[in-house]
Amino acid sequence: MSRNRWWLQRGALLLFAVVSGLQAQAPAGSLVTAIRSDMEHLAGSELRGRGSATHDEYLAASYVAAQLHAIGLRPGAPDGTYLQQVALPDPLPAAIQQRLAAFEAVPRTVTWNAIGILPGADPELAHQVVLLTAHLDHLGVSRATVTQPSHVYYGADDDASGVTAVLALARNLASGQRPARTVVVACFGSEELGSYGARGFLRQPPVPLQSIVANLEFEMLGRPDPALAPGMLWLTGFERTNLGATLAAHGAPLVADPHPQQGFFQRSDNLTLARDGIVAQTISSFGLHTDYHQPTDTVARIDMNHLIQAITALAPPIRWLANTSWRPQWNPNGKP
């Protein structure tokens, strides 16, 4: 049996098990319960750090796909499912191969996106799309050496917290009255290798790219940034567009990125979409903690109160964005 076919069969079994478990729960859990459950599964030992383009990443994508189905979103992948398969270059660039040499030696030929669609309710605005994204992969499992055992790089903050936020916002938008605009939820694979999932999304998008009025990427929301006031979040490239200021005016706790020297606008999947002309920016509260890309980035170090507060505060302004006819624009010289 080919590895790809084996992955598909294993993923189908997992998808069935997860959906069955969700259906068995009496009534849908609270926001807090769902956030904790998503965080603990995505950054748990079973998924072994969700290494980019590995079977573990595929299992993570299958879990997200099951959640999108349970929420009631329509499938968004080109084959009519929730999972989009994206081929990776063969061979991978030398710099990536060198970086991967420190991790498990496993085939890395395809990556996976999980995509769902909430159709807009307004006939005049349904053709406009708000895209909510996060990356579901992380570093995975390191290779053991003579002096060091192998370690799981759990990626709780990076970026299980972002995927958890996207799922929570999708649940909010799908409940009650449907938004006027269409909302696409996409969790990308292989961001850590060079945004290959996002690139595949652009090659085979579920909606016309020109219909996407804004992309909000969610990255590392699991801890507060000490550089900001309590409860505040930052938006990469705040000065590049009018999106951040407008969302802030509608209640979003957003300010400009306090770490411009880090170049965070260029360091997540939003850049891939922005280069295609889409107003695409990342919401985060990463305060440069030392667990970044370390095995110590675990659920135990997530500030759940902060994550819950961030998601709760973002829900109303994002619902406003999904209901308004206002379109964000690039500021002069803001487009990359």
Which residues, 6+ apart, have CB-to-CB distance to 211 below 8 Å? 127, 128, 129, 182
> Is the pLDDT reported for residue 26 higher than 80?
no
Q: If pLDDT is split at 50, 70 and 90, which confidence band does 31 have?
A: confident
Region 132-137: mean pLDDT is 98
- Is 13's pLDDT higher than 60? no
pLDDT-derived band at 2 (thresholds 50, 70, 90) equals very low
Q: What is the pLDDT of residues 45-72, one digit of tens each?
A: 999 999 999 999 999 999 999 999 999 9
How much is the pTM? 0.91
Architecture, CATH, for domain 3-323: 3-Layer(aba) Sandwich (3.40)
At 5, the pLDDT band (50, 70, 90 cuts) reads very low
Cα(238)–Cα(254) distance, integer angstroms: 9
Give per-residue pLDDT as tens, 240-289.
999 999 999 999 999 999 999 999 999 999 999 999 999 999 999 999 99
Q: What is the mean pLDDT of residues 94-107?
A: 96
Across all residues in the chain, what is the average pLDDT?
Answer: 92
Residue percentage of the chain with pLDDT more than 70: 91
Per-residue model confidence (pLDDT) at position 158? 96
What is d(CA 252, CA 244) in angstroms, rounded to the nearest whole number?
Answer: 8
The residue with greater pLDDT, 123 or 22, is: 123
pLDDT at 160: 98
pLDDT computed for residue 71 by the predictor: 96
Q: Is the pLDDT of residue 1 over 70?
A: no
Residue 6 confidence (pLDDT) above 50: no
Q: Name the H helices within 129-255.
A: 161-174, 191-194, 196-203, 243-249
Neighbours of 93 (CB within 10 A): 11
In this structure, are residues 209 and 128 in contact, taking their beta carbons and an 8 Å threshold?
no
Share above pLDDT 90 across residues of the chain, in percent, rounded to a whole number: 90
For 266, half-sphere exposure in the C-beta direction (CA atoms, 13 angstrom radius) is 8
Four-point Cα dihedral 184, 171, 8, 141, nearest 10: 100
Coil vs helix vs strand at 86? strand
How far, in Å, CA of 58 to CA of 28, rounded? 25
- Residue 146: the pLDDT is 87
d(CA 198, CA 210): 16
Query: What number of other Cβ atoms are within 10 A of residue 312's Cβ?
Result: 14
